[in-house]
A and B are shown apart, each in its own frame.
Chain A
Amino acid sequence: QVTLRESGPALVRPRQTLTLTCTFSGFSLSTSGVYVTWVRQPPGEALEWLSLIYWDDKKYYNTSLETRLTIFKDTSRNQVVLTMTNMDPVDTATYYCARGKVGPSGAFDTWGQGTVVTVSS
């Protein structure tokens, strides 16, 4: 059974750096074709794709946020970490990690429950 769980601080101060961890089970990020992504959703708004990392360590970032984002994986611990610098109240959102559907597809087939992050002084 594939599961993902997000963890991180519920409250972040403006200008601080957010560090989120996605801990997963039921698959390995060392297997060819596997990838994990981060998506966020501000309250009452739409989903926004943030970043993605492949099994071979290839990384992709939302171009509007890439100067603030860093993604990396710890295959031995089954974790993917996302950092976002210079946090602002507009970054208040639920942050999700998800697994990509293996094969000729870029869809996300299994999601974590999400973690709520509030940016406030």
Chain B
Amino acid sequence: QMTQSPSTLSASVGDRVTITCRASQNVVNWLAWYQQRPGKAPKLLIYQASILETGVPSRFSGGGSGTSFTLTISSLQPEDFATYYCQQYNSFWTFGQGTKVEVK
């Protein structure tokens, strides 16, 4: 089971934003982060906890290992207002419940 916090995050353009994902069991570093905009398919941002997918802006970064992980956006841009999901793939595949980043 993957638990994200917070469920909703209110922020402004330029803010530094951090989302946390906790796993109920050790997933090593087999963790991905996705961004989903309304009405769109998810987009892979980060895999293996900290590797940036090709084409993803460097303001996105991931960290952590074992059971605790973070996704950080260093300077929030207008296009970053979206919902973010973590996903473990150490044992089958499980998504977190999502974190919505909304305009403050």
Contacts and interface: CB of A to CB of B under 8 A. Distances in A.
Interface of A: 37, 39, 46-49, 52, 60, 62-63, 96, 98, 101, 104-109, 111-114
Interface in B48-104: 48, 53, 85, 87, 89, 92-98
A105 B93 contact: no
Given A107-B47, A107-B87, A109-B53, A49 B94 contact: yes
Given A47-B85, A52-B93, A109-B47, 11 more contacts: A46-B85, A46-B96, A47-B87, A49-B93, A60-B93, A105-B30, A106-B32, A107-B47, A108-B32, A111-B41, A113-B41
Interface residues of B, number: 21
Contacts of A63: 92
B92 A101 contact: no
B17 interface: no
B14 interface: no
A76 B57 CA distance: 37
A105 B93 CA distance: 11
Contact of A101 (B36, B42, B44, B96): B44
A47 B42 contact: yes
Contacts of A105: 30, 32, 47-48, 89
